[in-house]
Each structure stands twice: as structure tokens, then as C-alpha cells.
């Protein structure tokens, strides 16, 4: 298999069942050595460092001498807030389980663990987010080349987006956090996007605030476009959620044409009428990657170990595939690696789900014959176990 670029400068870590990194500080001179290692040891998980080190196998960390680091964005389906009715909650205290999303067990009140299952709708939304990150931000705003950006399925619940470019190589932690904050857009401060007071038009006594127009680049333009969009659609709910009072929303929508015309020219109503914060709120609420869509910790951590592409993820049995065409990629079809030989498992609970072009479930307390890749997936999720009774 293909190793990461500049393999000799990378640190590797391997894991065993139930433990993603059991041994780290490994390094390989070249791909041949890496492949030899994989053949002989066949670890459950293998990860490599996003950082480049002078001495990748040295310990402790400071002796490795960090030379630079890739920039990585991580999307996890559950962390981006995409919940599904197909998810399963399980209480490890009392053994109760059910479908959907719950924080506490309804029977004993303990915290429950959530196991996510393939859901085509969620998968599409996740891909839209990855697409927005790559096209709008990485290629659009940040100006990276297509060859600098690679998208990998994580093998479990999401995607990893790697940026390998000289421009990010030496960025420190705070600069990386800034990039994540930029793409999530949650810290927009509108006062920095607006200028002074200007006449609203040629023959009008009214005064406006000079601000971004829809053609402005970056977040200022994004904000102008989302506000115009909200006005054109007459999205009363969004305007109210952004913090406008009911009567102000009525006034805004009653004069919709006038305001869209003004904002289209970069002239915004005076803050006395509509606080600037409202416009920022609209941009925040409609941001393509809002909230905690991206794990800041992963992006900021220049020493992080991340799944090696094209290796099997020990939890799911799926391959952490490199994604060439995101629109046609379906991880639950294209990343299946284990054989379809049937094995017997005892399934505690599972929703209806699609894996490897076939549909399974729903199951509840059943002993079944399932293809190995499905059985492994369910066992890895902690909702099934091997059945010793092979006659069932």
C-alpha cells in the first residue's frame, strides 16, 4: 500500500482491539518497510503523524524535532450534530438499548453510549459539509491547489481532510485554530466588517453604514449573501432567531426591495435601526460549517496521529479510503473490505442499515448468520457478539 508523503519523517502508531494507539514512536524508512511491518504484525489500527520530524522515533516528543505539519480537518458524523433515528443508544449499566438519540437511560438514569449506523441522508449532509470546506474555504478562500488537498474517509464516522502545502507547513497552533475558526465562522465580529456612515444613495437624505456587498470575498461577502437570501425568501423565522424584534422584522420585510437594493450595493441600514450583530447572527445561523462541525483539537494538534489511508479501521472493519470523487463516494459501499463469508453472531440491537450493497436489519436480540463484514461492523459497534453456537 501507498504510504504518506515523506514517510521517513513521520511517526507511526499502532493499536490493538479496543485501543487505537497502543504503541507509538515507530518510523519507517520507506513504503517497503511499512508494508513489511503491516504484513508481519497486521495491527488493528495504524495511524501516522500529521507532523514531519527530524527524528520521528525519538522520545520524548521534544527530541523528535518538529519540522512542520500538515493541516488536517476532521469531521465526525456525531460531533457535527447530525443525529439520526437509526442511531442506537445503549446503557452499559442496566443493558437497556433503543433507537434514536438519548442522553440518559430511561430505565436507570445512567449516561448512555450512542452508536451511529449508516444513514444515507446523514451521509449526504456530511458530504455537503466536506464539499463546502474544500470548495468554499480551502480552494476558494485559502487558495490551495487541488493537488494540495486530499479527502479520506476516516473508516468510522466521518472524513479527514488533509492539506499539504508549504503555506501551512510551519503554521503554529494558534494560526491553525484561527483557520478552523475561520471556516466555522462562529466568531464573526460585525464591527470589523463595517466602515463609516455614508449616504444611502445619491438623492437621499438618509444615512447608511458602509459594509460588505455580496461580491465581497470571504466572510463579509458570505454575510451579505446570507442576509440577502434571507430577505428575498422572507425567512421570518431566521430573522427572529437572529435577534430582531417582531415589529422590526415586519418593517424589514415590508421594505424588502429597498433593503435588498441597498445591501446589494454595500449600503447597510444604520445600526440604530438594526444592530450590526443581527446581520452577523444571520451569517452564523446559515454558515455551512456552523457550530462544532470541525474538531478544533485535531486541527490544532501538530503532533497528532491520524488514520493511515487505505488501512482497515479496527472498530468497523471498513477501509479508511482516499476519496477521489466525493459525490459518488459511498463509504458503506466503497469502503467494505472484509469477505462476505457468513458467520453466526448474536445481535443485541441494530436498526435497518445498508452495508456493502445489501440491506440488513432491524434486529433485536437475535442470533443470525450474517456476512463477515456486517458481523464485524456490529461487533465493533458493541451491539453484537460472536455466537459460539454455529448451528443457529
Partner 1 sequence: MEVFYEVPFLAVLEKRKDLLPENPSNPPESVLKAASTHLRSILYGKSRPKPVHPSVFFTEANLVAFSPSSFLWERFARHYALLAVPAFERREEILLRHYPPSEVLSLKEFLSVQRPFPELKLYHLEVSGGKVYLGRRAPLFQASLLYRDILRWISERVRNIVVSGSLDDLRETAQRVLAPPSGRKRGYPHIQRLLNVTGLPDGRKRVLFYWLIPYWVTVEGKTPEEVLELANEWISRQGGAKIYSSWILSEAENVRSKGIKPWSVRKVEQIDPELVKLLRGMGAL
- What residues line the site for partner 1 (CB under 8 A)? 140-144, 167-168, 171, 174-175, 178-179, 181-182, 185, 187-189, 192-193, 195, 212, 216-221
**Residue 323: its H or E element:** strand 322-323
How far, in Å, CA of 154 to CA of 161, rounded? 9
324 three-class SS: coil
The SS3 assignment for 168 reads: helix
**H runs (alpha helix) in the chain:** 31-41, 120-131, 166-169, 173-184, 218-233, 236-241, 246-254, 256-264, 276-285, 296-300, 331-334, 372-381
The nearer residue to partner 1, 149 or 312, going by C-beta atoms, is: 149
Closest CA to 392 of 351, 343, 329, 326: 343
- Nearest by Cα to 75 from 127, 119, 121: 127
The residue among 64 and 176 lying less far from partner 1, judged by its C-beta, is: 176
What's the burial of 362, exposed, middle or buried (CB within 10 Å: 0-12/13-18/19+)? middle
Q: Report the DSSP pairing between strands 358-360 and 353-355.
A: antiparallel
Helices 246-254 and 256-264: angle between axes, nearest 10 degrees:
80
Q: Which is nearer to partner 1, 145 or 205 (CB)?
A: 145
- Between 218-233 and 256-264, two packed helices, what is the crossing angle to 10 degrees? 160
Taking the complex as a whole, the smallest distance from the CB of residue 142 to partner 1 amounts, in Å, to 6
Q: Using only C-alpha atoms, what is the Rg of the chain?
A: 25
Smallest distance from the beta carbon of 141 to partner 1, in angstroms?
A: 4
Q: How far is the CB of 72 from partner 1 (least distance, A)?
A: 17
Q: How far apart are the C-alpha atoms of 178 and 187, rounded to whole Å?
A: 10
Query: Which residue's entry shows cell 479510503?
Result: 321
Closer of 188 and 300 to partner 1 (Cβ): 188
- 291 or 339, CB closer to partner 1? 291
Q: At 24, is the secondary structure helix, strand, or coil?
A: strand
Compare residues 175 and 240 and give the one whose CB is closer to partner 1. Answer: 175
Least gap, CB of 143 to partner 1 (angstroms) = 2
Q: Which is nearer to partner 1, 178 or 257 (CB)?
A: 178
- Based on CB atoms, which residue is closest to partner 1, 122 or 222? 222
Amino acid at each position: 500500500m501507498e504510504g504518506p508523503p515523506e514517510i521517513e519523517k513521520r511517526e507511526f502508531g499502532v493499536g490493538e482491539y479496543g485501543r487505537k494507539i497502543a504503541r507509538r514512536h515507530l518510523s519507517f524508512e520507506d513504503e517497503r518497510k511499512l508494508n513489511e511491518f503491516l504484513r508481519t504484525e497486521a495491527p488493528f489500527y495504524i495511524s501516522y503523524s500529521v507532523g514531519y520530524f527530524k527524528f520521528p522515533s525519538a522520545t520524548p516528543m521534544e527530541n523528535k524535532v518538529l519540522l512542520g505539519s500538515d493541516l488536517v480537518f476532521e469531521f465526525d458524523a456525531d460531533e457535527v450534530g447530525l443525529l439520526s433515528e437509526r442511531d442506537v443508544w445503549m446503557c452499559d449499566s442496566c443493558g437497556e438499548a433503543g433507537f434514536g438519540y438519548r442522553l440518559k437511560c430511561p430505565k436507570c438514569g445512567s449516561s448512555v453510549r450512542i452508536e451511529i449506523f449508516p444513514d444515507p441522508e446523514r451521509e449526504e449532509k456530511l458530504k455537503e459539509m466536506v464539499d463546502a470546506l474544500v470548495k468554499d474555504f480551502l480552494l476558494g478562500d485559502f487558495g490551495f491547489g487541488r493537488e494540495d488537498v486530499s479527502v479520506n474517509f476516516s473508516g468510522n464516522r466521518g472524513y479527514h481532510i488533509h492539506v499539504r502545502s508549504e503555506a501551512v507547513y510551519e503554521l503554529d497552533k494558534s494560526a491553525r485554530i484561527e483557520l478552523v475558526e475561520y471556516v466555522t465562522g462562529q466568531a464573526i465580529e460585525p464591527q470589523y466588517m463595517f466602515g463609516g456612515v455614508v449616504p444611502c444613495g445619491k438623492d437621499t437624505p438618509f444615512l447608511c453604514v458602509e459594509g460588505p456587498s455580496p461580491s465581497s470575498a470571504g466572510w463579509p461577502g458570505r454575510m451579505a449573501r446570507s442576509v440577502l437570501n434571507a430577505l428575498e425568501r422572507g425567512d421570518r423565522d431566521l430573522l427572529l432567531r437572529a435577534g430582531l424584534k417582531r415589529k422590526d422584522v415586519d418593517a424589514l420585510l415590508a421594505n424588502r426591495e429597498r433593503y435588498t437594493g441597498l445591501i446589494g450595493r454595500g449600503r447597510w441600514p444604520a445600526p440604530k435601526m438594526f444592530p450590526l450583530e443581527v446581520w452577523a447572527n444571520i451569517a452564523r445561523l446559515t454558515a455551512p460549517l456552523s457550530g462544532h462541525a470541525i474538531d478544533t483539537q485535531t486541527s490544532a494538534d501538530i503532533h497528532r496521529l491520524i488514520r493511515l489511508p487505505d488501512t482497515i479501521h479496527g472498530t468497523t472493519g471498513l477501509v479508511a479510503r482516499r476519496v477521489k470523487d466525493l459525490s459518488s463516494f459511498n463509504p458503506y459501499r466503497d469502503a467494505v473490505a472484509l469477505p462476505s463469508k457468513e458467520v453466526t453472531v448474536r445481535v443485541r440491537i441494530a436498526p435497518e442499515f445498508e452495508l456493502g450493497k445489501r440491506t440488513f436489519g432491524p434486529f433485536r436480540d437475535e442470533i443470525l448468520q450474517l456476512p463477515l463484514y456486517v458481523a464485524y461492523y456490529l461487533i465493533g459497534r458493541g451491539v453484537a457478539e460472536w455466537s459460539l453456537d454455529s448451528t443457529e
